[in-house]
């Protein structure tokens, strides 16, 4: 996750901006920069690499402005370089940005026709030029920003300053977190309360769609319709050394809400968004000549691998073997020449997965690891690392790490499909576009969680819950059941929907909720027939679908309405309600959501 800091101060702010960014280094980054308002104009300093490079540049070329913004960046649009580092500027606007602007290409073409000259490869620069364009038409900075925000599509957090306005900063949130800090004659913006801890513990967290107009005298917050709204001021417990829950009750909920942002960063790591193509690292092996892919993982990571099996076989037309790590090596499975072995682990220290990696490596496989910790043992022992840019995940039950694993594996499937001649340029652009829309869809789903509170009230009274899905939804049924077991301690099982009649249907009665993961895809009608079998036996169906429940011909006890998404990305988007059903049920039952009994975040013993 990128880091954002903004300060309206009473003394030069550049050094404080860099110090605040250091508290966000745990998120990871490849470049950094700051910009300030200096004597009515904008100045900036940027540097590739670590913050010490930026500090050294500021020592040589100091900034003295009292208003400024700073940023640490993971490369998204454009390679990691100084020209692509934030802040980005037009003639009178400077902006820092987390997230993805989905429609940046259309906006960029329009702005270039209007005379804008772009100096970077990023989507962020579009925002600065768009606001400037509105100002040239006569709008003041606030009105120009409002007009520009209405035209942006995607998930983002923004901090914006303006030439000639050293007592004005605007922040905006749509799918990426942003907090306002309150000081004595000073005001702050930050993507995390940790960054603001040295300056203030009085924090206001922006809601989805909010944008904030800051002056040194205070803040005015407006919603996406432009109406003034009040958001509570809270006392933060953040320090410069601890990850903070922010305004969320649990780390798990915070991490669920971080998914639009972190998925954006993970996707951006593997894509050239300007061309709509996958930009994948060299695996040291000709993907066209891979004979088989072997995937191994444990727990939730295994279910991410199971989704990848469907993707790889369907789109790349390559055979895939998958097994839980604690079983694969003990089967002494024969491994082929020119084989690719993929290992999925949040921590990169999972003992069973590491042991199986070593087995496959000894058998001559090329090893690729999908990990969230690049310095981990699994990463170090792999030939190539495919990072998930989820940031630290504190909750034991994996949420954002899982969806970032899916994002990375989706890109692997597309890269392999292209290399094997199974993916046309047009089809690749279609699937890349679908992936880029995922953060926006997740952000929309997170706006209202009341449906999950209502659902939790009767789920929490159940002793058993079944989850059903077909095709790409089958691994999501398994993951949904695991989440509910992990944190609510309710017995739950996931099944392939077509397997119901082969035994599990005997469990159905009026006391058993049945959660059906059923996007309206090419398997939907078959899933409907399975729902009708459940309903005929008195089962209470919880339908998670974009379909109209009236169309399925049987009663539905509850409906989690989903957006219309491309079938390729449905596992990523549909993971969100699986997490929220489990979370709200566990909260109602009073369990320890972040540290459930008998479980550890990293399993380092067999």
Q: Catalytic positions, please?
A: 2, 601
In which element (H, E) is residue 343 found?
A: strand 339-345
On whether the CB atoms of residues 413 and 569 are closer than 8 A, the answer is: no
Single out the residue of 269, 258, 67 nearest to residue 173, CA to CA.
258
Identify the residue whose tokens are 């998120």. 27
Share in percent of the chain as helix, strand, coil (round to 5)? 40, 25, 35
Q: Parallel, antiparallel, or unpaired for β 558-561 and 31-38? A: unpaired
Single out the residue of 530, 579, 577 nearest to residue 554, CA to CA.
530
For 32-99, give the DSSP string.
EEEEEEETTEEEEEEEESSHHHHHHHHHHS----SEEEEEEE---SS-SSTTTSSPEE-SSEEEEEEE
Single out the residue of 408, 373, 98, 97 nearest to residue 278, CA to CA.
408
On whether the CB atoms of residues 241 and 568 are closer than 8 A, the answer is: no
Identify the residue whose tokens are 């110090």. 19
Q: Give the span between the Cα atoms of 213 and 168, in whole angstroms.
A: 7
Phi, psi values for residue 89, rounded to 5°: -140, 150
Q: Give the span between the Cα atoms of 400 and 250, in whole angstroms.
A: 14
């Amino acid at each position: 996750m990128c880091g954002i800091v903004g300060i309206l101060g009473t003394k030069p702010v550049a050094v404080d901006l860099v110090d605040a960014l250091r508290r966000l280094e745990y998120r990871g980054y490849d470049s950094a920069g700051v910009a300030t308002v200096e004597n009515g104009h904008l100045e900036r300093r940027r540097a590739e690499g670590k913050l010490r490079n930026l500090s050294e540049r500021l020592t040589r070329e100091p900034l003295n402005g009292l208003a400024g913004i700073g940023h640490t960046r993971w490369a998204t649009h454009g390679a990691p370089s100084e020209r692509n580092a934030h802040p980005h500027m037009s003639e009178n606007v400077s902006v820092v940005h987390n997230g993805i602007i989905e429609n940046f290409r259309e906006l960029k073409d329009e702005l270039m026709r209007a005379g804008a000259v772009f100096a970077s490869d990023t989507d962020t620069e579009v925002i600065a030029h768009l606001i400037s364009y509105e100002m040239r038409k006569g709008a003041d900075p606030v009105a120009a920003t409002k007009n520009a925000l209405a035209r942006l599509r995607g998930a983002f957090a923004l901090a914006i300053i303006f030439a000639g306005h050293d007592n004005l900063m605007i922040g905006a949130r749509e799918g990426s977190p942003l907090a306002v800090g309150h000081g004595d004659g000073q005001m702050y913006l930050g993507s995390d309360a940790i960054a603001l801890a040295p300056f203030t513990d009085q924090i206001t967290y922006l809601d989805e769609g909010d944008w904030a107009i800051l002056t040194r005298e205070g803040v005015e917050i407006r919603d996406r319709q432009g109406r003034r709204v009040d958001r509570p001021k809270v006392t933060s417990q953040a320090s410069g050394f601890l990850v903070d829950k922010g305004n969320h009750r649990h780390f798990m909920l915070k991490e669920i809400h971080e998914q639009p942002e972190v998925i954006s960063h993970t996707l951006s790591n593997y894509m050239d968004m300007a061309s709509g193509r996958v930009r994948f690292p060299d695996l040291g092996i000709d993907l066209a000549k891979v004979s088989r892919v072997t995937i191994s993982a444990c727990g939730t990571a295994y279910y991410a691998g199971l989704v990848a099996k469907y993707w790889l076989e369907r789109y790349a037309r390559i055979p895939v073997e998958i097994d839980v790590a604690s079983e694969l090596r003990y089967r002494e499975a024969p491994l082929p020449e020119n084989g690719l072995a993929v290992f999925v682990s949040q921590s990169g220290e999972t003992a069973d997965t590491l042991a199986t990696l070593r087995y496959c490596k000894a058998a001559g496989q090329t090893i690729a690891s999908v990990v969230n910790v690049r310095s981990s043992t699994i990463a170090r022992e792999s030939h190539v690392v495919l990072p998930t840019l989820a940031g630290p995940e504190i909750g034991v039950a994996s949420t954002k790490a899982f969806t970032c694993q899916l994002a990375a594996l989706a890109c692997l499937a597309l890269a392999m499909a292209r290399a094997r001649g199974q993916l046309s340029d047009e089809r690749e652009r279609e699937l890349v576009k679908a992936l880029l829309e995922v953060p926006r869809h997740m952000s929309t789903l997170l706006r209202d969680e009341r449906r999950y509170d209502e659902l939790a009230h009767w789920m929490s009274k159940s002793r058993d819950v079944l989850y059903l899905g077909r095709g790409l939804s089958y691994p999501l049924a398994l993951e949904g059941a695991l989440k509910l077991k992990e944190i609510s301690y309710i017995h739950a099982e996931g099944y392939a929907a077509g397997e119901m009649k082969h035994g599990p249907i005997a469990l159905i009665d009026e006391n058993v909720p049945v959660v059906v993961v059923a996007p309206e895809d090419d398997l939907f009608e078959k899933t409907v027939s399975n729902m009708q079998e459940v309903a005929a036996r008195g089962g209470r169906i919880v339908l998670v679908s974009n379909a109209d429940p009236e169309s399925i011909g049987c009663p539905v006890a509850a409906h989690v309405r989903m957006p219309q998404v491309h079938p390729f990305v449905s596992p990523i988007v549909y993971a969100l309600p699986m997490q929220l059903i489990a979370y709200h049920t566990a909260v109602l039952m009073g369990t320890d959501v972040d540290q459930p009994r008998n479980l550890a975040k990293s399993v380092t013993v067999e």
